[in-house]
Every structure is written in structure tokens, then in C-alpha cells.
């Protein structure tokens, strides 16, 4: 997540979280671990995501991998955006374990691990798709990775539309 020059990444991420809460923004992370790197491309690990979540009193850990199943909500998204050919389950490398959430919608998950989900933050939502474009296969050619990035983008946008009731 790019941070403006001269800004403190913690404050910047927290300000984005406040905008979601107070202004009703919807923030969509379409792949991997959200807010994992700061402006200088240095890893800040889970501190970045948790700085974003801090104003809402929530926490998360997205360093959890599992083979996750699409839920009823996830199948509705797939149908609503007319995606075809997806299996019933996908390897999700960055599943979230949410703490302190009052409302969440799970699109892809197993047990308490959320491979793709949306959490309510005040007036807004945070949509997290914890998949990687390799879908668990590190030997994919660049053209397939680019195609899979499009799949993740479509699923993330579809999930956002689902949350808003448009889909």
C-alpha cells in the first residue's frame, strides 16, 4: 500500500481505517496479505493490517493457509459476476482470522479461516480476498498468473457489489 512521502505508515493506514468507519468507504484488498508492505516496500507484517483495523477495535492475522470452500455467499458472487470454471474449493494462502468483528460475510472459508470475506467497519466495509494469483501452483507461466489476477479482481469487485446489495 503506497504511503505518501513524509507520512508515517501507521498513521496513514489508521487514517484509511477511520475513513472506512466514518465516511462509509469500502476498501477492497484483492489478493495476498493487505497492508503487508509500507512505502519503502519494507514488510511491516501484520502490523500494517492491524494499524488499519485499530480504529475499529478489531485485529486480524492473515498468515494462515488452507484449502477453502466457497460458501453460499461466495457462490452467489460467482454466479452474479458470471464467473465460470472455478472449482468448489481453492488454496487460500492468506486466510484471515478476524478478532472483534461484529458482522462479517464469508465468501471462501473453512472453520474459522476466511479465505475471502468482508467485515463491517462502522459505516463501511473491508473486503479481503486472501488468494494469490498462483492458486497454489508456483510454476504457472506469466500469462496464466495475469489471467488469475483478473479472476481475483473480478471476485473482489463482485464481493464488494454483493456487500452493497447491488449483486
- Is 3 among the domain residues? no
Percent of the chain with pLDDT over 90: 65
Specify if 42 maps to a domain.
no
Whole-angstrom distance, CA of residue 147 vs CA of residue 13: 29
Domain residue limits at 89: 26-35+58-164
Establish if 107 belongs to a structural domain.
Answer: yes
Q: Is the pLDDT of residue 97 over 90?
A: yes
Residue ranges of E strands in the chain: 26-29, 59-70, 89-99, 104-110, 113-121, 124-129
CA 84 to CA 106: how far, in whole Å?
A: 20
Tell how far CA 165 is from the center of its chain.
18
Beta pairing partners, 60: 98
> pTM for this one?
0.91
pLDDT tens column, 15-59: 999 999 999 999 999 888 899 887 667 888 889 999 999 999 999
Q: How many domains does the chain have?
A: 1
The per-residue pLDDT for 88 is: 83
Q: How many CA atoms lie within 13 A of 10 on its CB side?
A: 3
Q: Angle CA(151)–CA(86)–CA(155) in degrees, nearest 5?
A: 35
What average pLDDT is seen over the chain? 91
Whether 46 and 93 have beta carbons less than 8 Å apart is answered as no
Amino acid at each position: 500500500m503506497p504511503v505518501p512521502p513524509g507520512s508515517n505508515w501507521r498513521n496513514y493506514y489508521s487514517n484509511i481505517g477511520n475513513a472506512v468507519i466514518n465516511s462509509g468507504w469500502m476498501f477492497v484488498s484483492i489478493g495476498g496479505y493487505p497492508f503487508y508492505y509500507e512505502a519503502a516496500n519494507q514488510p511491516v507484517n501484520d502490523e500494517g493490517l492491524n494499524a488499519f483495523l485499530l480504529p475499529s477495535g478489531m485485529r486480524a492475522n492473515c498468515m494462515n493457509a488452507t484449502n477453502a470452500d466457497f460458501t453460499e455467499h461466495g457462490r452467489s458472487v460467482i454466479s452474479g459476476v458470471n464467473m465460470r470454471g472455478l472449482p468448489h474449493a481453492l488454496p487460500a494462502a492468506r486466510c484471515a482470522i478476524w478478532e472483534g468483528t461484529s458482522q462479517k460475510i464469508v465468501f471462501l472459508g473453512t472453520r474459522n479461516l476466511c479465505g475471502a470475506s468482508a467485515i463491517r467497519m462502522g459505516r463501511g466495509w473491508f473486503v479481503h480476498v486472501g488468494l494469490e494469483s498462483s492458486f497454489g501452483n508456483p510454476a504457472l507461466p506469466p500469462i496464466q498468473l495475469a489471467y488469475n489476477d483478473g479472476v481475483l479482481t473480478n471476485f473482489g469487485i463482485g464481493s464488494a457489489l454483493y456487500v452493497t446489495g447491488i449483486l
